[in-house]
């Protein structure tokens, strides 16, 4: 009688259990719970019991008509745009310089380490550090302005809408351009070197090579950066929360996540409205993720699936052989 070959498939399920359990308990359930709270009257510190509202969408309507919420969305968008465009341009430029074979930049390693450094420092610390640097009446920035004769009087930077937003955008830019640059560099290094050799043989200039070969090849990576940065930008919390107490003059630096936090964990603890706002934010993020997923899926997923299939085939073959060997 021939014995059936041993099946190890069940271990696939067993080894996935911790992930699935942790996901259900700490991610899935809280999201559902948040969604449910959005339809209830749950507010007030230490409250946990709730009942559904007569008009279930009342919180959503209130939030969508709340001028602070609208301001927070437009602030988030503005702060993100002001930081993202220069960030991506500078990162591209640096990536092009650092990967240029003909003009090698000395000390690249040190530059990379320094450019990326702000990214790993606690955002909370950076927020308070910059808020101190831009202090009024006598912060380092004011000191520099006076020393270089840019202004006679002390400037209260944080009381002006656009400087307050501008500084937050700058902090975001400053903490992330190094990261973006490193991703672009690895992207450029992944481009087929033969393309560059061919271009060199045809006598292409550095800028021609950059615009005709490098840039088009980085398109997918740039889209990926765009969407991940946008999703990250929508969650901006630490820096706007701590940079200016109460988010500055007329909510100049109020972002969506800070709005949600303030609704739920200060004032009258309106968990229900914060939950409704979270769900709106969640919808926006899911839509953007969907776009990313759609873009990334085409090429990468097809490639991965192909690799996968080959591996499975090989693996099954190996399994069968080893099972047979075990029988012998």
Partner 1 sequence: MKNKANVSNYALDTVKYTVCILLAILSILPFWIMLMNATRGTFEIQQHAVSLLPSTHLFDNIKVLAGKSFNPVTGFINSMIISTCATVCAVYFSSLTAYALMAYDWRMRQPFFTFIMAVMMIPAQVSGIGFYQFMYRIHWTNSFLPLILPVIAAPTIVFFMRQYLLATLQLDIVNSARIDGAGEFYTFNRIIMPIMKPAVATQAIFVFVGNWNNLFTPMILLTDHNKYTMPIMVSLLRGDIYKTEYGSIYLGLSLTVLPLFIVYFLLSKYIIAGVALGGVKE
- Residues 58-87 touching partner 1, rule: CB under 8 A, are none
In the complex, least distance from residue 30 CB atom to partner 1, rounded to whole angstroms: 4
Applying CB under 8 A, which part among 6-14, 62-70, 71-79, 209-217 lies near partner 1?
Answer: 6-14
**Phi, psi dihedral angles at 270 (to 5 degrees):** -85, 80
The answer to the question of residue 291 lying near partner 1 (CB under 8 A) is no
Partner residues linked to 52 by β-bridges: 40
Do 149 and 229 meet the contact criterion of CB atoms below 8 Å apart? no
Do 196 and 209 meet the contact criterion of CB atoms below 8 Å apart? yes
In the complex, least distance from residue 216 CB atom to partner 1, rounded to whole angstroms: 18
Q: Which is nearer to partner 1, 12 or 67 (CB)?
A: 12
Applying CB under 8 A, which part among 9-17, 69-77, 191-199, 211-219 lies near partner 1?
Answer: 9-17
The answer to the question of residue 142 lying near partner 1 (CB under 8 A) is yes
Q: What is the DSSP letter of 203?
A: T
Q: Which of residues 249-268 bind partner 1 (CB under 8 A)?
A: 257, 260-261, 264-265
Applying CB under 8 A, which part among 69-77, 158-166, 196-204, 289-297 lies near partner 1?
Answer: 289-297
Q: Which of residues 208-247 bind partner 1 (CB under 8 A)?
A: 221, 224, 228, 231-232, 234-235, 237-238, 241-242, 245
Q: Which is nearer to partner 1, 20 or 81 (CB)?
A: 20
The answer to the question of residue 131 lying near partner 1 (CB under 8 A) is yes
H-helix or E-strand containing 187? helix 161-189
**Phi, psi dihedral angles at 253 (to 5 degrees):** -115, 25
State the first-to-last Cα distance of the chain, in angstroms, to the nearest integer: 13
The answer to the question of residue 271 lying near partner 1 (CB under 8 A) is yes
| Number of neighbouring beta carbons within 10 Å of residue 75 | 26
Do 248 and 159 meet the contact criterion of CB atoms below 8 Å apart? yes
Tokens 């790993």 — which residue?
120
Closest residue by Cα to residue 97 from 226, 206, 213? 206
Q: Which is nearer to partner 1, 31 or 64 (CB)?
A: 31
Q: Which is nearer to partner 1, 137 or 216 (CB)?
A: 137
Q: Which of residues 166-185 bind partner 1 (CB under 8 A)?
A: 174, 178-179, 182-183, 185
The answer to the question of residue 129 lying near partner 1 (CB under 8 A) is yes
Name the CA dihedral angle for 192, 196, 198, 201, rounded to a multiple of 10 degrees: -160
């Amino acid at each position: 009688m021939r014995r059936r070959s041993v099946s190890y498939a069940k271990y696939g399920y067993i080894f996935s259990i911790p992930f699935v359990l942790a996901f259900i308990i700490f991610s899935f359930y809280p999201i559902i719970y948040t969604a449910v709270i959005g339809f209830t009257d749950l507010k007030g510190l230490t409250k946990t019991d709730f009942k559904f509202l007569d008009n279930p969408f009342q919180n959503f309507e209130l939030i969508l008509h709340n001028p602070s919420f609208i301001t927070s969305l437009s602030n988030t968008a503005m702060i993100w745009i002001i930081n993202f465009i220069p960030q991506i341009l500078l990162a591209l430029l640096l990536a092009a310089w650092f990967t240029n074979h003909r003009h090698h930049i000395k000390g690249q390693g040190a530059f990379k380490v320094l450019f990326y450094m702000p990214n790993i420092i606690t955002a909370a610390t950076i927020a308070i550090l910059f808020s101190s640097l831009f202090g009024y009446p006598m912060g380092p920035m004011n000191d520099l302005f006076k020393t270089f004769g840019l202004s006679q009087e002390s400037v209260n930077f944080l009381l002006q809408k656009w400087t307050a937003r501008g500084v937050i955008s700058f902090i975001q830019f400053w903490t992330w351009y190094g990261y973006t640059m490193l991703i672009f560099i690895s992207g450029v290094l992944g481009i087929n070197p033969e393309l560059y050799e061919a271009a060199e043989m045809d006598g292409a200039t550095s800028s021609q090579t950059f615009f005709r070969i490098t840039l088009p090849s980085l398109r997918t990576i740039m889209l990926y950066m765009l969407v991940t940065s946008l999703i990250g930008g929508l969650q901006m919390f630490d820096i706007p929360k701590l940079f200016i107490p109460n988010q500055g003059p007329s909510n100049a630096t109020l972002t969506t996540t800070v709005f949600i936090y303030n609704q739920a964990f200060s004032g009258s603890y309106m968990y229900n409205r914060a939950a409704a706002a979270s769900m709106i934010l969640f919808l926006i993020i899911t839509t953007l993720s969907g776009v990313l997923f759609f873009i990334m899926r085409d090429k990468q997923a097809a490639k991965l699936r192909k690799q996968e299939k080959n591996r499975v085939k090989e693996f099954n073959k190996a399994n069968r052989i080893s099972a047979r060997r075990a029988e012998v």
